[in-house]
Amino acid sequence: MSDTPYYEKHVFFCLNHREDGRPCCADRGAQAAQEHAKKKIKQLGLNGHGKIRINKAGCLDRCEEGPVLVVYPQGTWYTFVDTQDIDEIIEVDLVGGKVVERLKI
Amino acid sequence: MSDTPYYEKHVFFCLNHREDGRPCCADRGAQAAQEHAKKKIKQLGLNGHGKIRINKAGCLDRCEEGPVLVVYPQGTWYTFVDTQDIDEIIEVDLVGGKVVERLKI
């Protein structure tokens, strides 16, 4: 790992939409979840350099396990069902520094 | 870091397009660079689980330094001018495991 990370936690939500019949994160509430997370981190004043960044991403290629997000540089992958799951990931992992085992993939 | 990373190198290119006057990666060749990297990694047979993933991302919020990409879980950030720079990042960092100091931001 090089120096101090630019973001302490850099979160990428897969927002990919597929039309080939494979499951995709976009069909499973990924966009609403990303927007919810981004808003909440901003409300908490935790967004920005040295802190937390909530990002959109293209296909992370774990479609069958979706919707998925990944937290770097820790490399922790999560799935989620609703905004309550997102709140738990924010509270326990992004803020608390612990892994949410029940949502980890 | 948790367990073995799902991707050894997970690369995110900012492809964001701004219309508010601030500089943006999309205006500086980011899409062509991302496509070039994705194609080359596939040609080398280095794409996939346990190996390398080249990803699209929304705004990484380092607009003034763009175009930018970040390599996780190492957390190395780069800027680039053309596909020759991308080739150097692939060869030296993604394959060779060393940082390209002249392009690092």
One-letter identity of residue B52: I
- Residue B44 and residue A55: Cα distance in Å, rounded? 28
B4 assigned to some structural domain = no
Q: Is residue A89 in a domain?
A: yes
pLDDT for position B1? 47
Q: Is B85 on the interface with A (CB under 8 A)?
A: no
Q: What interface predicted TM-score (ipTM) does this complex get? A: 0.94
Residue B21's domain spans which residues?
9-103
pLDDT in tens, B31-77: 999 999 999 999 999 999 999 999 999 999 999 999 999 999 999 99
- The string of DSSP codes covering chain A is --SS-SSSEEEEEE-----SSS--GGGGTHHHHHHHHHHHHHHTT-BSTTSEEEEEES--S-GGG-SEEEEETTTEEEE-SSHHHHHHIIIIIIIT----TTTB-
Report yes or no on A2 lying in a domain: no
Asked if residue A49 belongs to a domain, the reply is yes
pTM listed for this prediction: 0.95
Query: What is the number of structural domains in chain B?
Result: 1
> Residue B105, Cβ neighbours under 10 Å: how many?
13
Within 26-65 of A, beta carbons closer than 8 Å to B belong to 48-49, 53, 55-62
* B3 assigned to some structural domain: no
Between chains, do A57 and B55 touch, taking CB under 8 Å as contact? yes
Helices assigned H by DSSP within A1-105: 30-43, 83-88
Looking up residue B63, the CATH number of its domain turns out to be 3.40.30.10
Compute φ and ψ for B34, nearest 5 degrees.
-65, -45
From chain A, pick out residues whose CB is under 8 angstroms from the CB of B58: 55-57
Among A83, A8, A80, A96, smallest CA distance to A38 is for A83
Q: Does A72 touch chain B (CB under 8 A)?
A: yes
Residue B84 to chain A, least CA–CA distance (Å): 23
In a domain, A4, yes or no: no
B1 in any annotated domain:
no
* pLDDT over 60 (residue B2): no
Q: B61 lies in a domain? A: yes
